A and B are shown apart, each in its own frame.
Chain A
Amino acid sequence: MKLIRKMVGHAMTMAPHAAAIGLKFESAEDGRGRMSVPWREDLVADPESGVIASGVVTALLDHCCGMAVNATGKINFPIATLDLRIDYMRPAAPRAGLIAEAHCYKMTRSIAFVRAEAWDVDQSDLVATAQAAFILNRG
């Protein structure tokens, strides 16, 4: 399990876009994954508010959902996102980074279903939630 965790973490931060926005691997285990993205000036939507762009939230949630599927430990083939639905509850706090947690709660032969949430300070006061489906390309 330790090796899987290490491999998943490595693979998920190796993606050039993940590195470009500064995504950090936090944990991956039993179909659950956690990642964070620290606040950065060039990731802000509107310089007046200093709030991180919703596009960064989208990339974080998409990435974290994929990681949760890989964290089931049953994936040794490519997967691809079919759809991703994101609800934005509120903007993140100014100059705040984000944390996301995703859970792959069901996997069939061809599809993985994932839920995720993102917050800035307090996990009970969410910034966004997501629901995603992935196709499993078993080859």
Chain B
Amino acid sequence: MAISKQLLDDLDKRRSESRVGGGEKRHAKRTEKGQLSARKRLDDFFEANTFQEWGIHVDHGCHDFGMEKKSMPCDGVVTGVGRVAGRPVAAYSQDATVGGGALGQRHAKKICDIMEYALEAGMPMVGVNDSGGARIQEAVGSLAGYGQVFYRNVLLSGCVPQIGVIAGNCAGGAAYSPALMDFLIMTRQNANMFICGPQVIKAATGVDCTMEEIGSASANAAISGNVHFVAEDDHHAMQIVEELLSYLPSNNVGNPPHMPTEEICMDPDESMNDIVPEDPKGTMNMYDVIDRIVDTDRFLEVHRDFAQNLIVGFGRVDGVVVGIIANQPSVKAGTLDIDASDKGARFIRFCNAFNLPILTLVDVPGFLPGVAQEQGGIIRHGAKMLFAYSAATVPKITVITRKAYGGSYLAMCSRDLKADMVFAWPTAEIAVMGAEGAVNVLYRRELEAAEDKVAQREKFIDDYRQRFASPYMAASHGMITDVISPAQTRSVVSLALRNTLNKNETRPPKKHGLIPL
């Protein structure tokens, strides 16, 4: 009484045939280029022996163009659930050795099935994209398949984290599913992402361009901002996903994986005082400040190459996970421009959706002046920062390090946008506008009448600076929780975060607010 050996052998045979995908030859070619197979990418990512595959026996159902004679193992995509750092994570990984990884109807159904499961079971969704696009032989069937995947990307959005890896070519529709996810990681070599390639652009507009300029990892990461992380290779890409997940809850109902230390270190960090330049016009490197606030220098920066005048990323403070948003005064003087606003607002909204406390570090002289900025819609884009911060109900802690001028001060999570606590260094300059500009407006008549205009102007500027370019005017209005020395920053922030972790703010119910897109 036992199951027949033949049945078991048949099962083994079917499994191993499917696992080979498009054949050894194709795999070898990819290995030469330094690419991992679709399966190896997942093997690398999940803890050993935890991967439960879904639909290993799926094959295509196409009967046109001679397809009925061909087999497509797994229909070109590996899907399933595995464990990462002890937590379940759902994933799909497209197999470019099977019909170029092109998406057919059953391929799409497999992706949709695993996405729905991720949503219902409340686990992160990771998609490894390596696909030539829609499977032409299946015609509108494959087009519909893409639509179904997009729709589910939107269903999952804000409920479970969605992370996309671009590990091969992703053109047209294949680029839009990743674009609907929360974070994109792209490998430096072997991957391209674009809607219209160089040939199409040339045919339509006559303009010559290279793939490097429009579709490469560096173009997507540094110029368009479509991509959040650039990985050196496939293995590194999966490492970044893993590191990213280490800061995120499995879903929007759960808490982030805080690992609070038993004690909060309240000792001052004198080295922070040394970072602050004596001259208010001198540049400060905000990374130095961040590194001294987060635990053991570990800061996972998001969008590192894009809009570098604003820094965003994840870290822990005495074990508590925070999303950090910080002006970078050493790039474009730390001004907010269109790209920085988009980058910041997107990150703030992610943090809010997944219960991640927000720490804002301010050193902002204003919005970037310029014709391109005005015509590009800095009003509409800058408004996203105001919207995102105001809409966020997670703990919001703000530290004003130096400059905080005008509208950009408000846009960096001021008290008026309901920051829970706002701390300011003694070097903070919180004012409507800079001294030079303010004096020109306030003392126009006096300056016209003055005998020595230059000296008089200098005097007015000096007076204005003394009175307004400090944290104490704002503090006297009750807009600042406390003025602290830079050395106190880490301990003050840590304590503030702990105290605010149980914050529970509710807002009037509505379908959704209308962020100015």
Partners in one complex: no
Where the two chains meet, the residues of B that have a C-beta atom closer than 8 Å to any C-beta of A are: none
